Amino acid sequence: MDDAPTLGLDLDATLIHGALGTVIADLGRDIEVEQGIAGIHDQVIAEGHRLVGEDPALAYDWQATVARICATREAVVPFDIAERLAEVADERTLLLEDATVPVLRTIGARGWRRVVLTNGWRRYQDPALRAVGLTEVIDDVVTADAVGAPKPAAAMFAAARGEHGGGLVHLGDRLDDDVLGAHGAGARAILYCPWAPTAVHGPCDEVGQGALRGFLRDLAQRQSARVHPADPQVRPDAVITTIEDLPALLPAFAEPV
């Protein structure tokens, strides 16, 4: 076991805007045009949202969800989602910030392990990681299908830390999966929110607590997050609006909790 600190990195809406949503939209449109069956896309998305609350282990297996919905509508599944993602990832996957790759390279050079920690299944996420060059600046990928449960399950964060004894800091955009999940696993949490007001930027111990409470309440509502915003476990350790702020924050969080 070494004592290297680990930076966990949420993927969608933190590092990238992925192609999965557009691919599922393509699938629904193909079925409507070619088979005359409308509404498949909306049903698939609604079923995914339902499963997050009822059976989260299955919620991110989009091919299985599509197959079930199509069976109930007597529709033929027109293509494999993972295969289509591999075809379109280069043109449809976007980094949220141009600075992401150089920032993660800098963080790695300072001795941090960089681990993508995502609820998306590996076969859906690998094309996106390759498309935007993230495979060159990360050390590992932890996905919900490999662990058997999505965030906020503690097992996801334990898998990110692995056998390394250093601190674990997780960067993500959601209060439930990312902040609550990290704290529940004994890790620190940095919240990524590009529209966060100036009053809450930086380490949360140093900002006005009234402003922070109002911000978290608003964010929980916007996200329909499965949390109570007043829960101390939902309070991040820091808030950033750009990944360029990350390297300066990390040294304070490098030691294990």
What average pLDDT does this structure show over 241-253? 95
Give SS3 for 155: helix
d(C-alpha 174, C-alpha 91), whole Å? 26
| Mean pLDDT along residues 148-174 | 93
- Regarding beta strands 94-95 and 16-17, do their DSSP bridges make them parallel or antiparallel, or are they unpaired? antiparallel
d(CA 175, CA 216): 8
Mean pLDDT score across all residues of the chain: 95
> Which residues partner with 115 through β-bridges?
8, 140
pLDDT of residue 164 exceeding 90, the answer is: no
Q: How far apart are CA 136 and CA 186, in angstroms?
A: 28
User: CA 217 to CA 211: how far, in whole Å?
Assistant: 10
> At residue 237, does pLDDT exceed 70?
yes
Question: Can you tell me whether residue 77 is helix, strand or coil?
Answer: coil
Q: Long-range contacts of range 140-145, CB-CB < 8 Å, 24 or more positions apart?
A: 140/113, 140/115, 140/116, 141/115, 141/116, 142/8, 142/115, 142/116, 142/117, 142/118, 143/118, 143/119, 144/56, 144/57, 144/60, 144/118, 144/119, 144/120, 145/60, 145/61, 145/121
Going by the DSSP 8-state scheme, the letter that residue 177 receives in this structure is I
Looking at the domain 6-18+93-253, which fold is it? Answer: Rossmann fold (3.40.50)
CB 234 within 8 Å of CB 228: yes
pLDDT band at residue 107 under the 50/70/90 scheme? very high
Which pLDDT score, from 0 to 100, does residue 233 have?
96
Cα angle 16-162-148, degrees, rounded to a multiple of 5:
70
pLDDT at 112 over 70: yes
Give rounded-to-5 percent helix, strand, coil for the chain.
55, 15, 35
Q: Model pTM?
A: 0.95
What is the domain partition of the chain in residue ranges?
Answer: 6-18+93-253, 20-90
C-beta separation of 113 from 139 below 8 A: yes
For residue 2, the tally of other CB atoms under 10 A from its CB is: 9
What band does 162 get if pLDDT is binned at 50, 70 and 90?
confident
Amino acid at 74: E
Q: Where are the beta strands (DSSP E) in the chain?
A: 6-9, 16-17, 94-95, 113-118, 140-143, 168-172, 188-192, 202-203, 238-240
Q: Tell me how far apart the alpha carbons of residues 243 and 9 are, in angstroms, rounded to a whole number.
A: 11
Q: What is the pLDDT of residue 1?
A: 58
The pLDDT score that the predictor gives to residue 105 is 98
Is the pLDDT score of 207 beyond 70? yes
Taking residues 10-32, report their average pLDDT. Answer: 97
pLDDT value at residue 37: 98
Provide, rounded to the nearest whole percent, the portion of the chain with pLDDT above 90.
Answer: 91
Quote the pLDDT of residue 53. 83
pLDDT score of 236 more than 70: yes
pLDDT in tens, 45-92: 999 999 988 888 889 999 999 999 999 999 999 999 999 999 999 999
Between CA 79 and CA 64 the distance in angstroms is 12
pLDDT for the residue 2: 79
pLDDT of amino acid 193: 98
Residue 171 bridge partners (DSSP)? 9, 190
